[in-house]
Structure 1
């Protein structure tokens, strides 16, 4: 589902339906789209996530670096006391970044270079030992990253995972848990995931590719027998769209059916009179709708702009469709 956030402030709402009168049948009304998204994008990274999208997540482990290595949690080091060799010992850096040393207790070492740790130890032990000198050797480095690489390895997929967007627009990632993807592109999701993975280990990153996406669909909402999403192979007539939902119910006001679709950075809403269309007297008889279009059948004839926005907003949110309306009846925020 394409998540489109529509701004409907007073001036725009007034364009949608004039004053308190009924919405003019067959008129088109255009609303600007915030965070605009289209249908299937040329660049998959700009694809806006929708339920049942399948993502190929590929983990990357950066074990090489041109910069001076900094100690990290789980690394194993050997510290030699050159002036007191009886205290030489091996240490594994704890998850909190500390090691426990004789006389001085806990020492924070994660984030330090080897030379930086050596100088820090000399400063710490100056009150304890006479002319303290140290040698620091890294026995095992990036231990945590290597453990992660082992734990994430799949016998069939290697360092990849296939992740599916749930119906609540959430993806569950290994190690970092759930990320809400509603309104986000594939690129947005990758950046959000990499921020979380970098917090676990700077050398752990993920790349995402769109494996598959749901087929084209339309949404028929409001006073119909079975409101919801319906797959289509191509454009269908407005009449066919309503028929896919089982047809209108007894509460339906067929004189004010709204069809919405996206054009560039705008959502275009058009009101049709299906009563006349059934008699062959209205353009709704030949009107077509396509992928991710929304058809709304109200219970009463559309009147005030705020009523239109409220009805559409409630219907869309209730059905879990990605459109969200922000509406108001005053002119606050207008320039």
Structure 2
């Protein structure tokens, strides 16, 4: 019984710490990576050497934009500067001295997926550059069963999927989440279940519910039985 009481006190303590030590928004600096285009973004392409080729285009679901003379060109996952250089190369065989600019005009939906042991799993709009802890806050915070030290972030970049592990425990919070990175559009934040919660779930689903009788004892981590 003593262990159960201590667990409740610890959970309440973690909840209080989360409420009092919420992190500040991520800072923007000169070293912040340049924005990369995603499907749904609107881009203004101005061709100074041939104004009739200028267009406002939207990045399609396949990551491409359609332009006169050169057809479909990939824009997704490129910065404005990288797209500019790519268009110059594409127009060079068609135009004597292609000069153009690439200007972002609108941004598609910026969504992040949050699942696992959070209060409200689902899809959330990112209001700005946020990290995994702030995404969990959008989803209502951690459940008591969350394993906060091993949160997974799944990202897709350049057609590949990368999985990273982020420590969002109270100890990491006090250190300012040193390994937290800004989330990208369509990232998945998954909060796994703690080991003790998995044991409790197993007991509930496969032992308690399966037996025709009710009982009130439980096993703690030391293997003691309490009545």
Query: What TM-score do you get using the length of structure 2 for normalisation?
Result: 0.49
Q: Which has the higher contact order (CA 8 A, sep 6+)?
A: 1
- Higher Cα Rg, which structure: 1
**Structure ranking higher in strand proportion:** 1
